[in-house]
Amino acid sequence: MKKILIANRGEIALRVMKTIKRMGIKTVAIYSTIDRNAPHVIFADEAIHIGDNPSNQSYLLGDKIIEKALELHVDAIHPGYGFLSENEHFAKAVEDHNMVFIGPGHKAIRIMGDKLAAKEAVKKFDIPMVPGIDEAVTDVKKAEEVASQIGYPVLIKAAAGGGGKGMRIVNSKKDIASQMERAISEALSAFGDGSVFIEKYVTSPRHIEFQILADNHGNTVHLFERECSIQRRHQKVVEEAPSSLLTESLRKTMGEAAVKVAKACDYRGAGTVEFLMDADLNFYFLEMNTRLQVEHPVTEFITGLDLVEEQIKVAREEKLRFSQKDVKFKGHALELRVYAEDSLNDFLPNVGRLERYRIPKGKNIRLDDGYEEGMEIPIYYDPMISKLITYGKDRDEAIQLMIHAIDNYLIEGVETTLAFGKFVCEHPAFKEGDFDTHFVNSFYDTEVLKNIRKKEAQLAALIALKLYQKEQSVLRTPN
């Protein structure tokens, strides 16, 4: 494998390229018009313009990406996450053109990409499932019958996607029709498939996922768990590894279940098995993400492994160099997704120009980003600016380092989730590990952040005034 094309942009494209270059392999970047001067384009050995700014005219053009890859004699394609990373047709097309798709086979993507098919595949392993119906529902009366059998509240979910899209919580029969209509419409818009299913809504859930790694020789291991319960609009914002909730016994049981899920679809490469856990520590299979996760750096910190390197080695048909008993973790890691969002206004996107951009540095602080000062955050793509990751010998140390890193991360020109991240890290419920996926609704108070900002502005003004007065008081003598 001498040359790899990265079919993505921004921080993940740059992060993947760094490992590829370290392995002595050439890199090829793709870019839309607005990304022509982006860091991932400059960093790559070669770069090719793929289309106009909207993703459906550039980063989602699988056939064009393959065409360009063939012209440049590329050996393999790494999809990163998002865009085409979980597109079975793209994965198959890459393979059909005698290139390596650095990810699972297209069959595994197809099975795990459909939540109903995924549940069917893992049934035989007796892995706990959230009570619900294992078939798509479009009829309101049928939905009402299912919901009555399961018991309210229920969750209506898109069968073909994730990221909180096509998902509605229903608390009573009178809301079924309207919420189904919304879920189906959103699923059609986001995934081109309006299929939805219904399952019991787990109250006070924790969202815990297991990183798995599998080769082409029948070896599959898990690399422990990540806690992803701090979310807004069903999307993760703060992740950590390991979870403060799991006992060694529960970690072992859930890890074994994750490995069984991977084996159920003949998985290869890096992937993630997601579970929900209720207040009584019962866990339920949620879904499998057949790609590298946004939050993979926290796993890398606690295990010392480079997951992109492991992906490439598996793609080169190498055997895993370790078994389950060899894999250990040490310390604790925390990640904050830094979005260009206004956390004081329902986390709405707040794209614009990075007027000032200064990153935090120091031991055990890692920043994965794809922007520089003066660049625009485009409206066309996900508004994530970067991922800020910290590591400590224990959870408390990782949290305190995260607060320090946030304080030393300067971004001006757009609103970001930095202040929200600090709010989380300083909140007693988070520090004590006593939280669930409803953290934002239960504890987040925008007035607190507004008061903090007001005090910071007052302090900054006071310091500026004192500096001015000091400067004016200095005796100036003529030359």
Last residue of a domain, one of 200, 228, 256: 200
Asked whether residue 190 falls in the same domain as residue 236, the answer is no
Which residues constitute the domain of residue 227?
A: 206-447
Report yes or no on 425 lying in a domain.
yes
210, 203, 201: which is closest to 246 by C-alpha?
210
Pairing between strand 100-101 and 76-78?
parallel
Catalytic center residues: 291
Last residue of a domain, one of 143, 176, 200: 200
State the CATH number of the domain containing residue 392. Answer: 3.30.470.20
Q: How far is CA 313 from the centre of its chain?
A: 23
Query: What pLDDT, in 10s, does the model give residues 409-445?
Result: 999 999 999 999 999 999 999 999 999 999 999 999 8
Asked whether residue 195 falls in the same domain as residue 210, the answer is no
Asked whether residue 154 falls in the same domain as residue 277, the answer is no
φ, ψ dihedrals at 421, nearest 5°: -60, -40
Asked whether residue 312 falls in the same domain as residue 392, the answer is yes
Asked whether residue 331 falls in the same domain as residue 259, the answer is yes
Asked whether residue 285 falls in the same domain as residue 404, the answer is yes
Asked whether residue 369 falls in the same domain as residue 396, the answer is yes
Report yes or no on 377 lying in a domain.
yes
Last residue of a domain, one of 155, 180, 200: 200
Q: For the chain, what is the largest distance between any 2 Cα atoms, rounded to a whole number of angstroms?
A: 92
Digits of tens for pLDDT over the chain (479 positions)?
999 999 999 999 999 999 999 999 999 999 999 999 999 999 999 999 999 999 999 999 999 999 999 999 999 999 999 999 999 999 999 999 999 999 999 999 999 988 788 988 998 888 999 888 878 888 888 889 989 999 999 999 888 766 667 889 999 999 999 998 898 888 887 777 888 889 989 888 999 999 999 999 999 999 999 999 999 988 899 999 999 999 999 999 999 999 999 999 999 999 999 999 999 999 999 999 999 999 999 999 999 999 999 999 999 999 999 999 999 999 999 999 999 999 999 899 999 999 999 999 999 999 999 999 999 999 999 999 999 999 999 999 999 999 999 999 999 999 999 999 999 999 999 999 999 999 999 999 887 666 666 666 666 567 767 676 766 666 555 55
φ, ψ dihedrals at 394, nearest 5°: -150, 180
Query: Which residues contact residue 326 at a Cβ distance below 8 angstroms, ignoring those fewer than 6 apart?
Result: none
Report yes or no on 471 lying in a domain.
no
Query: Which residues contact residue 10 at a Cβ distance below 8 angstroms, ignoring those fewer than 6 apart?
Result: 38, 40, 370, 371, 381, 384
φ, ψ dihedrals at 34, nearest 5°: -70, -20
**Distance of alpha carbon 415 from alpha carbon 449, whole angstroms:** 13
- Estimate the crossing angle of helix 115-122 against helix 248-264, to 10 degrees: 110
Asked whether residue 16 falls in the same domain as residue 76, the answer is yes
Asked whether residue 431 falls in the same domain as residue 393, the answer is yes
Structure tokens, 358? 């200064």
Asked whether residue 96 falls in the same domain as residue 174, the answer is no
State yes or no: cis peptide before 242, omega within 30 of 0: yes
Query: What pLDDT, in 10s, does the model give residues 279-329?
Result: 999 999 999 999 999 999 999 999 999 999 999 999 999 999 999 999 999
Asked whether residue 30 falls in the same domain as residue 55, the answer is yes
Asked whether residue 34 falls in the same domain as residue 161, the answer is no
179, 129, 181, 182: which is closest to 154 by C-alpha?
179
Residues 356, 373 contacting (CB under 8 angstroms): yes
Number of domains, the chain:
3
